[in-house]
């Protein structure tokens, strides 16, 4: 059971200790719904394992503060443990420290300067089609309506604009089966797949500047599959390639680039999510940057649901206490001071007081 009266550091530990690997978020979603449902200033709604709690004060603007409650599979790093000024455990950085900040804001700011929709959603760490925010956008888009959004993704306490797109493709080499004792009668698809890996080894990442922020692309093999039996020359080998591309490209342009890059091989798109341009010149985003005062904004070198919010017409930024370089690692941890700092800055912004 979550205790929203605990300080934000202890609340982070509580969240980590409730396992919520993608697809198994229900116990955590139940607890969040129960705790927020007991607060008289919030209207709480639920769709699956996504919870939306909102104020309705008639303010001129509505902001959306969102975070996913799922984690990648646990790597022997639950329950959490504290070592000095750090809290260790699965999801500490990505992104239960950000969710803890959301919960503290929801419970301690009953009359914010803006109306607020707090969104806690499931299945962000898996295929885009399972994403809880995507489901909400399809089934209850009005729950996500707003003038501006903050995704509490790990940014190390900096503001990160936009996000890169992501695309996974299967690149397949075809051969001809034969008995391994008469290999010359066939063509080995696994050997031919070496040319796919040659393309990847020769790849030079683009580092384009988009609206003043520098992005850094990536193209990597993440799976290889092939083979029939120990005495058969394989006739098929597939390499799954993940492309992280800057927001100066559309999904169609990214797909076209990959098909040209792997010309001569079969290319099949298996998953894709669009990028989002930084949009920091939007008045609401500029006001947030000025209020939170977290230093110069930088590019988000990953995919986040700012892209989903952008598709809904809601300008959004990433801001959270976790360190993105530690996300998904066995040694994942968060600096406790950054959680406290993020809570303070967000509290000042929501309350309409001066950030710093």
Task: Catalogue the active-site residues.
Answer: 70, 124
CA 41 to chain centroid:
29
**Under 8 Å CB-to-CB from 6, ≥6 apart: which residues?**
14
pLDDT above 70: residue 304: yes
What local confidence, expressed as pLDDT, does residue 356 receive? 40
Strands (E), 141-288: 148-151, 159-161, 165-174, 178-179, 209-210, 213-214, 218-226, 232-233, 236-245, 266-273
**What confidence tier does 355 reach under pLDDT thresholds 50, 70, 90?**
very low
Q: Tell me the helix, strand and coil percentages in the chain, rounded to 5.
A: 35, 25, 40
Element (H, E) at 115: strand 115-121
Asked if 271 and 288 count as a contact pair (C-beta separation under 8 A), the reply is: no
Whole-number Å distance between alpha carbons of 133 and 115: 20
Question: Whose structure tokens read 């390639």?
Answer: 241
pLDDT above 70: residue 261: yes
What local confidence, expressed as pLDDT, does residue 353 receive? 74
Closest CA to 225 of 182, 178, 172: 172
**Under 8 Å CB-to-CB from 355, ≥6 apart: which residues?**
290, 291, 292, 293, 345, 348, 349
Element (H, E) at 35: helix 26-37
What local confidence, expressed as pLDDT, does residue 65 receive? 98
What local confidence, expressed as pLDDT, does residue 247 receive? 96
| Mean per-residue pLDDT, 226-237 | 97
- Spell out the domains of the chain, with CATH numbers in brackets: 8-163+276-351 (3.40.630.10), 165-273 (3.30.70.360)
The pLDDT tens digits for 39-79 are 999 999 999 999 999 999 999 999 999 999 999 999 999 99
Residue 321 gets which letter from DSSP? Answer: S
Q: Supply the mean pLDDT for the chain.
A: 95
Question: Whose structure tokens read 């790990």?
Answer: 154
The pLDDT tens digits for 100-127 are 999 999 999 999 999 999 999 999 999 8
Q: Tell me the three state secondary structure of residue 91.
A: coil
The pLDDT tens digits for 150-189 are 999 999 999 999 999 999 999 999 999 999 999 999 999 9
The pLDDT tens digits for 318-341 are 999 999 999 999 999 999 999 999
Order of strands, sheet of 165-174, starting from the edge strand that comes earlier in the sequence: 218-226, 236-245, 165-174, 266-273
Asked if 304 and 153 count as a contact pair (C-beta separation under 8 A), the reply is: yes
The pLDDT tens digits for 3-22 are 999 999 999 999 999 999 99
DSSP one-letter string for 241-280: EEEEE-TTS-HHHHHHHHHHHTTTSEEEEEEEE--B---T
What local confidence, expressed as pLDDT, does residue 251 receive? 97
Percentage of residues in the chain having pLDDT higher than 70: 99
Q: Each residue of 12-51: b (16+ CB within 10 Å) or e? A: bbbbbebbbbbeebeebbbbbbebbeebeebebeebebbb
pLDDT above 60: residue 354: no
What local confidence, expressed as pLDDT, does residue 352 receive? 84
Pairing type for strands 62-68 and 148-151 reads parallel
Element (H, E) at 351: helix 336-351
| Mean per-residue pLDDT, 271-294 | 88
What local confidence, expressed as pLDDT, does residue 127 receive? 86
Whole-number Å distance between alpha carbons of 290 and 131: 31
Question: Whose structure tokens read 């996974």?
Answer: 168
């Amino acid at each position: 059971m979550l205790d929203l009266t605990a300080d934000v550091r202890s609340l982070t530990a509580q969240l980590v200790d409730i396992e919520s690997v993608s697809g198994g978020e229900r116990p955590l979603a139940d607890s969040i719904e129960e705790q927020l449902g007991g607060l008289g200033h919030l209207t709480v709604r639920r769709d699956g394992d996504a919870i939306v709690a909102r104020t309705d004060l008639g303010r001129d603007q509505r902001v959306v503060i969102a975070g996913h409650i799922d984690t990648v599979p646990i790597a022997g790093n639950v329950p959490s443990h504290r070592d000095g000024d750090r809290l260790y455990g699965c999801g500490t950085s990505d992104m239960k420290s950000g969710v803890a900040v959301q919960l503290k804001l929801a419970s301690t700011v009953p009359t914010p300067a803006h109306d607020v929709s707090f969104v806690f959603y499931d299945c962000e760490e898996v295929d885009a089609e399972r994403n809880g925010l995507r489901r909400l956008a399809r089934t209850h888009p009005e729950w996500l309506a707003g003038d501006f959004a903050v995704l509490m993704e790990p940014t190390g306490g900096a503001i990160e604009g936009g996000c890169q797109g992501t695309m996974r493709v299967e690149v397949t080499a075809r051969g001809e089966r034969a008995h391994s004792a008469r290999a010359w009668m066939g063509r080995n698809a696994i050997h031919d797949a070496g040319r796919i890996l040659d393309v990847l080894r020769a790849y030079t990442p683009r580092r384009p500047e988009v609206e003043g922020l520098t992005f850094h692309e990536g193209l990597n093999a993440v799976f290889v599959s092939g083979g029939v039996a120990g005495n058969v020359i394989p006739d098929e080998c597939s390499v799954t390639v993940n492309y992280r591309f800057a927001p100066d490209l559309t999904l169609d342009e990214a797909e076209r680039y990959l098909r040209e890059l792997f010309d001569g091989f079969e290319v099949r798109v298996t998953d894709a999510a669009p990028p989002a341009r930084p949009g920091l010149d939007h008045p609401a985003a500029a006001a947030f940057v000025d209020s939170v005062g977290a230093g110069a904004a930088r590019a988000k070198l990953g995919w986040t649901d700012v892209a989903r919010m952008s598709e809904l017409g809601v300008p959004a930024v990433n801001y959270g206490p976790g360190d993105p370089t530690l996300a998904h690692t066995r040694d994942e941890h968060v600096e406790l001071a950054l959680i406290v700092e993020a809570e303070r800055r967000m509290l000042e912004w929501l309350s309409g007081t001066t950030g710093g």
